[in-house]
């Protein structure tokens, strides 16, 4: 194909990026980032700044090779129609999507020109791609079937042909968002790759199995998620790095975690729109206690968002999210369970809020985990006893004391986990009684 549009949205890297492997025979190629305007505008300022910083950094890397990155924030279908027409595009090349609205977008695009989708952000593609007709019902089944086969092929050598690319597009980022150098330093290809290599060499990595359930701090986990969500690192490269190092229990566990990510990516392609349905895949997820839009649901949701539920463990995690744009996996599981089961709110509101706030937002990992906890996925619901979890994972209440210094300030140690009065009441559940410090 001689006129190509390469959509590089979640593949912000030069290394192991098959989308950039433009054959020499190509007449012209356009490197494009097209952000969904509605989604972008709903994101937190922190997330917008991160996205802008990473795109600006990628634009610089491409510019150093003489390639112009054309960036748009618009309604995707309308913008793609315009570009395809204006540039007389014959082929659109993009990463294989997970979410149904992107799948539909590419279906529409295929009525205008050819579309080539490459699964460049998954571990299993090509011959290793799962059989979607017989997709396993759990991540552990999926892993035990697929992991033995998983010898990731060497990351693709850079075969990019800069002379094919067309310049004179718009400036790298047309929004008013301030970019943030710190973000670029941490999460750009260069920053994330340095951080990952340092992590692999560190003692922190060998302790991952023991520390992965911590709630905050440096290097208690890999911190790969942001770079994987934006594609500044190649997941296949990370897998290969793990595979080539010593297979100690932490390395094995981390690969297991990468399989959760992988599972949700394929699960989304198998189940499509059902992944976003309130009652879930089997239409048997428990419905929320308070109907969406009711004043109780609205008020409960607001308190949860703002970290004002009266449960220190929940409020500390929600404030951490507001301060940093991130939350540990343990924290995410607990706040999700609390919103759905104690506050009786539709799980999809929580998933949407996370989508707007999380720096590492990834459609399949986020919505897949929410559905999993709410019982809208394949298995039963996961209802956590928040008081038990507080004491298990924050035994000395260091985490809640750090995030909520004024709460339960007359108490010491584990007692700081006691629910506290807020908005005229103190939350209470019978199931907490055996664990109350």
Q: Which residues bind ligand FAD (CB under 6 A)?
A: 212, 221-225, 228-229, 254, 257-258, 260-261, 264, 328-329, 332-333, 336, 354, 358, 360-362, 365-366, 369-370
- Find the helix or strand (DSSP H, E) in which 69 lies: strand 69-74
Nearest alpha carbon to residue 389 among 347, 341, 322: 341
15: left (phi over 0), alpha (psi -120 to 50) or beta: beta
For ligand FAD, give the closer residue by CB, 4 or 357. Answer: 357
For ligand FAD, give the closer residue by CB, 52 or 258. Answer: 258
Q: Say how far apart CA 260 and CA 256 lie, in whole Å.
A: 7
Q: Say how far apart CA 141 and CA 162 lie, in whole Å.
A: 43
Strand pairing of 3-7 and 91-95? parallel
Q: Write down the least CB distance from residue 349 to ligand FAD, Å.
A: 12
For ligand FAD, give the closer residue by CB, 43 or 366. Answer: 366
Would you call 156 helix, strand, or coil by DSSP?
A: coil
> What is the maximum alpha-carbon separation in the chain?
73
- Find the helix or strand (DSSP H, E) in which 70 lies: strand 69-74
For ligand FAD, give the closer residue by CB, 30 or 370. Answer: 370
- Give residues with Cβ within 8 angstroms of 400, minimum separation 6: 312, 313, 315, 316, 390, 394, 407, 416, 417
Structure-block tokens of residue 243: 């595979």
For ligand FAD, give the closer residue by CB, 267 or 432. Answer: 267
Q: Write down the least CB distance from residue 30 to ligand FAD, Å.
A: 29
Task: Give the Cβ contact number of residue 217 at 10 Å.
Answer: 12
Q: Write down the least CB distance from residue 399 to ligand FAD, Å.
A: 15
For ligand FAD, give the closer residue by CB, 171 or 306. Answer: 306
Nearest alpha carbon to residue 183 among 280, 361, 321, 325: 325
């Amino acid at each position: 194909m001689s006129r190509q549009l390469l959509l590089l949205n979640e593949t912000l890297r030069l290394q192991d990026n098959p989308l950039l492997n433009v054959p020499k025979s190509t007449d012209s190629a356009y490197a494009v980032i097209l952000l969904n305007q509605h989604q972008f505008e709903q994101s937190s300022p922190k997330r917008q700044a991160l996205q802008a910083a990473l795109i600006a950094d990628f634009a610089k890397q491409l510019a150093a090779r003489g390639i112009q990155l054309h960036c748009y924030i618009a309604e995707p279908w309308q913008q793609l129609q315009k570009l395809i027409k204006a540039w007389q595009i014959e082929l659109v090349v993009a990463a294989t999507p997970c979410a149904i609205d992107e799948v539909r977008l590419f279906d529409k695009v295929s009525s205008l020109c050819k579309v080539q989708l490459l699964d460049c952000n998954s571990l299993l593609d090509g011959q290793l791609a799962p059989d979607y007709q017989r997709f396993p019902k759990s991540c552990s089944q999926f892993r035990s079937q697929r992991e033995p086969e998983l010898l990731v092929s060497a990351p693709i050598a850079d075969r990019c042909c800069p002379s094919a690319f067309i310049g004179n597009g718009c400036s790298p980022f047309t929004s008013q968002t301030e970019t943030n150098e710190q973000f670029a330093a941490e999460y750009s290809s260069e920053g994330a790759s340095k951080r990952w290599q340092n992590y692999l060499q560190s003692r922190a990595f060998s302790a991952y199995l023991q520390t992965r359930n911590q709630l905050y701090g440096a290097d208690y986990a890999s911190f790969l998620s942001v770079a994987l969500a934006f594609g500044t690192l190649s997941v296949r490269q990370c897998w290969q790095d793990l595979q080539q190092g010593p297979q100690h229990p932490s390395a094995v566990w981390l690969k297991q975690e990468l399989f959760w990510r992988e599972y949700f990516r394929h699960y989304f392609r198998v189940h499509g729109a059902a992944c976003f349905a309130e009652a879930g895949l089997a239409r048997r997820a428990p419905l929320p206690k308070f109907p969406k839009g009711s004043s109780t649901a609205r008020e409960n949701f607001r308190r949860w968002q703002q970290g004002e539920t009266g449960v220190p463990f929940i409020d500390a995690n929600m404030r951490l999210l507001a301060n940093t744009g991130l939350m540990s996996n343990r924290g995410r599981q607990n706040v999700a369970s609390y919103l759905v089961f104690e506050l009786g709110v539709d799980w999809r509101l929580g998933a949407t809020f996370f989508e707007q706030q999380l720096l590492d937002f990834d459609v399949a990992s986020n919505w897949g985990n929410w559905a999993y906890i709410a019982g809208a996925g394949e298995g039963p619901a996961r209802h956590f006893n928040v008081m038990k979890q507080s004491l298990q994972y924050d035994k000395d209440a260091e985490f809640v004391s750090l995030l909520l210094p004024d709460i339960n300030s007359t108490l010491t140690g584990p007692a700081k986990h006691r629910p506290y009065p807020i908005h005229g009441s103190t939350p209470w559940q019978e199931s907490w009684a055996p664990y109350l410090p």
